[in-house]
Structure 1
Amino acid sequence: MPQIYFDAATKGNPGESSCSSVIIIENERHYFTKNIGVMDNHRAEWEALIFSIQNAIDLNVKNALIYTDSKLVGDSIEKDFVKNEMFKCYFNEFKQLERAFDLIFVKWIPRSQNKEANQLAQQALRKKLKSKK
């Protein structure tokens, strides 16, 4: 089953943010990064989830294990509920996008198991901040 790892990086809170995803399909890795503007780190994690799912759909992924080191995102998906009004639009977008899949699981993992996506997001953020100087 394809695996999707995603993460976000934010300089400040709120601050300039980037996100990344690593999509592994049959041992082939697909890398994606995006600068997502100024936002807080929680919003950036939601943006990273949506970005990653959209990339998976573009790659015609129908079944996926999605891994996140964001407790907020992982818990919200697991409980099928978002308390904070600010994140409901992301949760609703996730619910719409998940319809493109036959099977999809979102699982929280420790940051130490999400190093590749984290490094990609940090690298994209550093590049963006450097270009602003």
Structure 2
Amino acid sequence: MLEIYIDGASAGNPGPAGAGIYMKRGSAMWKESWPLPGMSNHEAEFHACLKALKRAEEEGFRIVSLRSDAKVLVEAVEKRHTKNKQFRPLLEEILHVMDTSFDHVFIKWISSSRNGEADRLAKTAVQQSQKEYKH
């Protein structure tokens, strides 16, 4: 099973944003971050989840355990529903990837203190996004 820690961040709400993922299985680790255009930190969390699932799919994993410190994301995925119109298309895409590309996807809320590496990666991506935002 692949463990994936995800985080999204933004400078301002909305503002330049970023997504970070930290994946590990045994001694193998992957760390990635992506700058995102202006959006809220919650929207960045949904993007981080989607990007993490797509990366796990590319690596050929069939069982993944996602960990996020964003209750809004975890609850939406668990319930397979969100009332927020802005998150709905992202959630639908997340659920589609989960249902078609994996045997099992577990998602669990963790405290921010247990999500440090993904948080650092997301903040690095926000800095990259801020540089791109200014140009």
Compute the TM-score of the two structures, normalised by the length of structure 1: 0.93
Give the distance between the partners of 2:41 and 2:128, measured in 1 at CA. 18
Q: CA deviation at 1:62?
A: 0.6
State the aligned residue count.
133
Distance change >3 Å, CA 95–CA 127, structure 1 → 2: closer
Aligned-pair Cα RMSD in Å:
1.4
Amino acid at match of 2:103: D
Match of 2:118 in 1: 117
Q: Deviations over 1:55-114 (max 9, x none)?
A: 111111110100000010011112222111211101110111002001110111111110
Q: Percent identity?
A: 29
Matches within 5 A, 1:47-126: 47-98=47-98, 99-126=100-127
Give the distance between the partners of 2:103 and 2:19, measured in 1 at CA. 25
Match of 2:37 in 1: 37
Give the distance between the partners of 1:51 and 1:123, measured in 2 at CA. 16
Give the distance between the partners of 2:131 and 2:34, measured in 1 at CA. 15
Residue 89 of structure 1: SS of its match in structure 2? helix
Give the distance between the partners of 1:88 and 1:117, measured in 2 at CA. 23
Give the distance between the partners of 2:130 and 2:73, measured in 1 at CA. 26
Q: Which runs of 5+ in 1 are unaligned?
A: none
Residue 29 of structure 2: SS of its match in structure 1? strand
